[in-house]
Structure 1
Amino acid sequence: MPNACGVDFGTSNSTVGWSRPGQSPLLQLEDGKVTLPSVVFFNADEEQVYYGRAALANYLEGYEGRLMRSLKSLLGTSLIDDQTEVMGTVLPFRTLLTQFIGELKHRAETAAGREFTSAVMGRPVHFVDDNDEADTLAEDTLYEIAQSVGFTDIDFQYEPIAAAFDYESQLDREELVLIADIGGGTSDFSLVRLSPQRAKQVDRRNDILASAGVHIGGTDFDKYLSLNSIMPLLGLGSQLNNGAEIPSSYYFNLATWHTINLAYTQKTWLQIKDIYRDARDKEKLDRLLNLIEHRSGHWLALKAEEGKIALSSQTQMELLLDRLQPAESLLLQREGFEHAIEKLVSSIENTVSALLQDAGISADDVDTVVFTGGSSGVRLLREKIGALLPSARRVEGDLFGSIGAGLALDAVRKFG
């Protein structure tokens, strides 16, 4: 059995795959589940660090501390070389990522009962859009982190290609497949020829007709749902006495996972208190200040995610915002959500159209569209991609596990 694994370090969830005959490749990482939410909570009350579901539970139970999510979004940005204060000490963001990936490796090895020395790491088609230098830096950073936690042999694979390998393991004939991987931070696509015969080849470059991606994903859908429907309850769009609108930057920070903690600074608190004196609707600013005082921004982001998930299968849902003061019960409509994300979905749609053009492939030549990634259930997104390929069969893969499973297969090909 190989000492090589596949590591899917995701924006929202992470998995590790290990290819074993007759068994599921995905290793159990937390409470019998194969996914580990990409979340870290520094519990100041207990002076302990928690990961995954335990981290979210600690935060929601009200422990004092620092919650951090969407860690992958730091790769390729200037923030990766910055630092933050956690439990009274300075913590570089690079160290934070190293700690999480080290924990991911440790849990995988515990579940497998062996050490993993080789890994195929999943990566988006673009860590950073339209910036090759930043994209290369992001991969190099992830490589260095993987080395530092104990992997000696490391390779990379595009995440949609990994999902293609997982789908291919179920085929009994050749297909031309579009993989649509809509993750937490990016939307990635690959057009691949797949078959049982092609699966035996180590070098698959000739089977990959084109790949493309855009830095838009599920956390962006959460963000714009929040800005459109939730943040107005806290004062977004309301006016000052002179007719100007309250600055939107505070609300954008609260709606964006990796900037929520900026809302908790003393500087932000004093700025909002200053704005409060000239606000026409002080009740909404009272809500905002109360939310910041109780550091409930992450809770609010989780509620936006809850709404997005529900609207993928329902036309409306009642969202209970019981931590607001006063509490609110907000009726969310799918129509309003789709309006909020329309421009984002249009950018993703354009990415798929350009991919087909670059590959020189007619839409009618594509046999199957495989949807994977936790945010691929968004109805408007599926409809737009489906409309581009009207004759293609639509298949839903393992939304959270297909990439890790495919990376495990690739690890066997590359490392034996």
Structure 2
Amino acid sequence: MAAIGIDYGTSNSEAIYFDGQEHHLITLDPSQPAANKIRSSVFIYFDGDLPRPPDSAIEAKITQLKGAISQQIEKAKEGYYEAIMPKEQQIYSDKIDVLRAELHNTPVLQRRAIEILLEDMTVQDLPLHRLVESGQFSFGEEGFARYLKTPDKGRLIYSPKNFLGANLIAGQKEAFVGMIAKQLEFFRLSAEQQLQQNVDTAVIGRPVKFHGSSGEKGNKQAIEIMTLAAQKAGFTKVEFLEEPIAAAYKIERNLKKHTNVLVIDIGGGTTDICCIKLSPQKLANIDRQQDVLSVTGARLGGMECDKNLIVKSIAPTMGQGLLTHSGLPVPPAFFSDMCAVDDIPRLNHFFSEEYGLEIAQTKSIVKEPKLLERLLVVQEQKLSARLVNSSRLAKELLSSKTDITLPLHYIEPDYDVKIDNDDLKRSMQSWLQKVKRLVTECLENSAEPPEMLFITGGMSLSPIVKRELQEIMLPNLPLIEGDAFNSVCEGLAIQAAKLATKNS
């Protein structure tokens, strides 16, 4: 039996096996150059008809149909009593008999009710748990490509991890358990196929604080969902390790002596920081909590930067800042709601017919309606996830370029937005200040100062982030060079190998 580390991320996920000497990256998405990484989004879809509507909806529709038939019976009765000729009375009498037979033919009424409901039903009308129970799953770039091609056939959950600590309504918790179980099972089966042995144990990374507004209650809920999902996925033993501590375990293997290290992990959904005592003499130790000097975290990930870049640099080309004929501004909420890919109720509200009408009405009273037409296209065609993905690509390109032209031709032909590094810096300023406050908090809570710095996570590759943290905030801390993308998962795999050895 083998044990693997799983970095279940906001933007990307990966799985790694450590044999005691080497790390083995599990290929999860062969369509990508770095195939061990896979986009964390899930597309749940239907190739054919949608599933049978809920029983409550069918019963309500049957009641409605019976009401309509009863009205026809009463009208036929009136015709019968008003008729003078026996032949005319017989026609009404026959009609009443037929309608009464229809009224009491429950199987036919049920089939008719289902047909009517299915005619009007869309994927967006299905509760999430029904979607998970009945739909087909597509992961990684294949799933995202399928979503881009046929968005009306399914629903894209852009980042399941972002919902784990949120206030979930009835059925949603079970839906996320089922959805994430499908992903984790895919990871497990991929690992078993490549390692040629059974995989029964996983150490899964967790942020210090999961995305959500429920505090410790949300953290407990997130761990419960992930535990149930892992068990449903076929793992018999599951443990969780805070992501910055996992990254520390990785870099510890390259240290020559005892060193206090400040680890800053900036991922897609959260920023997590720890100050920890590391030593080559402690490599075999499983429980290292006594070595953690300070740990903190918050919902400050790269996705927030993606959304901020839209609001600051793309939304003005979609009508943000326009005034109506009466001098009132276009509601700013239009554009923040458009980006809410990590808030299902809010995004569903943005995609509703009522919201579309509100945008259309506003469009009719502004001086440049063409700009708001772009917003309306995003709303009507449900393009929010695609737009956030475009913003992410722009952010990544600006890490190595001074300016780019971002094509948004799926919204409007020849619609291009020019964005430069100054635009990106402006969009990141408030986010960076929050990250720096988090670093300060971790340092103030540590009983001992750090001697070295390690920055990891996808956002650590941003020149803007590097300069703010390394050169401006912490210039006196020597930087440990390491893998920004794999260090967390490699540390999780190291911990998984320790567990496997302990249990063998």
TM above 0.5: yes
Q: 2:423 aligns with which of 331, 336, 350?
A: 336
Maintained 8 Å contact 2:320/2:335? yes
- Relative to 1, partners in 2 of residues 1:124 and 1:263: Cα closer, same or farther, differing over 3 Å? same
Aligned positions of 1:297-336 closer than 5 A: 297-336=384-423
| Counterpart Cα distance in 2 of 1:383 and 1:129 | 31
| Counterpart Cα distance in 1 of 2:195 and 2:426 | 45
Cα deviation for residue 57 of structure 1 reads 2.2
Q: What is the TM-score when the length of structure 1 is the normalising length?
A: 0.90
**Cα offsets for 1:327-376 (capped at 9, x unmatched):** 322221222221122111111101111111110334xxx33221211111
Maintained 8 Å contact 1:44/1:63? no
Cα deviation for residue 189 of structure 1 reads 0.8
| Counterpart Cα distance in 1 of 2:426 and 2:341 | 21
- Relative to 1, partners in 2 of residues 1:176 and 1:206: Cα closer, same or farther, differing over 3 Å? same
2:400 aligned with 1:401: no
SS at match of 1:78: coil
| Counterpart Cα distance in 1 of 2:491 and 2:406 | 36
2:139 aligned with 1:51: yes
Match of 2:327 in 1: 243
| Counterpart Cα distance in 2 of 1:146 and 1:361 | 37
Which amino acid letter does the alignment assign opposite residue 72 of structure 1?
A: K
- Relative to 1, partners in 2 of residues 1:45 and 1:126: Cα closer, same or farther, differing over 3 Å? same
Cα deviation for residue 45 of structure 1 reads 4.7
Maintained 8 Å contact 1:81/1:93? no
Cα deviation for residue 320 of structure 1 reads 1.9
2:352 aligned with 1:265: yes
- Larger deviation: 269-278 or 368-377? 269-278
- Larger deviation: 8-17 or 323-332? 323-332
2:165 aligned with 1:76: yes
SS at match of 1:392: coil
Match of 1:231 in 2: 315
SS at match of 1:118: strand
- Larger deviation: 69-78 or 14-23? 14-23
| Counterpart Cα distance in 2 of 1:401 and 1:270 | 46
Q: 1:121 aligns with which of 204, 207, 212?
A: 204
SS at match of 2:265: strand
Match of 1:374 in 2: 458
| Counterpart Cα distance in 2 of 1:226 and 1:82 | 32
- Larger deviation: 232-241 or 98-107? 98-107
Query: What residue ranges of structure 2 are gaps of 5+ in the alignment?
Result: 49-134
Higher percent of residues as strand: 1
**Cα offsets for 1:71-103 (capped at 9, x unmatched):** 10001111375559xxxxxx9344323322332
- Relative to 1, partners in 2 of residues 1:413 and 1:165: Cα closer, same or farther, differing over 3 Å? same
Match of 1:388 in 2: 473
| Counterpart Cα distance in 2 of 1:134 and 1:294 | 32
Q: 2:39 aligns with which of 33, 37, 40?
A: 37
Maintained 8 Å contact 1:317/1:333? yes
Match of 2:262 in 1: 178
| Counterpart Cα distance in 2 of 1:395 and 1:244 | 52
Q: 2:444 aligns with which of 342, 357, 372?
A: 357
| Counterpart Cα distance in 2 of 1:139 and 1:379 | 33
- Relative to 1, partners in 2 of residues 1:254 and 1:321: Cα closer, same or farther, differing over 3 Å? same
Which amino acid letter does the alignment assign opposite residue 495 of structure 2?
A: D
SS at match of 2:305: helix
| Counterpart Cα distance in 2 of 1:219 and 1:406 | 24
Match of 1:88 in 2: none
| Counterpart Cα distance in 2 of 1:218 and 1:300 | 15
| Counterpart Cα distance in 2 of 1:169 and 1:25 | 16
Maintained 8 Å contact 2:305/2:428? yes
Match of 1:293 in 2: 380
Which amino acid letter does the alignment assign opposite residue 157 of structure 1?
A: L
- Relative to 1, partners in 2 of residues 1:181 and 1:325: Cα closer, same or farther, differing over 3 Å? same
Which amino acid letter does the alignment assign opposite residue 178 of structure 1?
A: L
| Counterpart Cα distance in 2 of 1:326 and 1:92 | 38
**Cα offsets for 1:149-187 (capped at 9, x unmatched):** 222222110001111111112233332211111100000
- Relative to 1, partners in 2 of residues 1:79 and 1:249: Cα closer, same or farther, differing over 3 Å? farther
Match of 1:195 in 2: 279
Cα deviation for residue 304 of structure 1 reads 0.3
CA RMSD of aligned residues (A): 2.3
- Larger deviation: 75-84 or 180-189? 75-84
Which amino acid letter does the alignment assign opposite residue 388 of structure 1?
A: M
| Counterpart Cα distance in 2 of 1:45 and 1:338 | 43
Cα deviation for residue 116 of structure 1 reads 2.0
Maintained 8 Å contact 1:264/1:293? yes
SS at match of 1:212: strand
- Larger deviation: 385-394 or 301-310? 385-394
Match of 1:9 in 2: 8
**Cα offsets for 1:171-227 (capped at 9, x unmatched):** 333322111111000000111222221212222122211111111100000000011
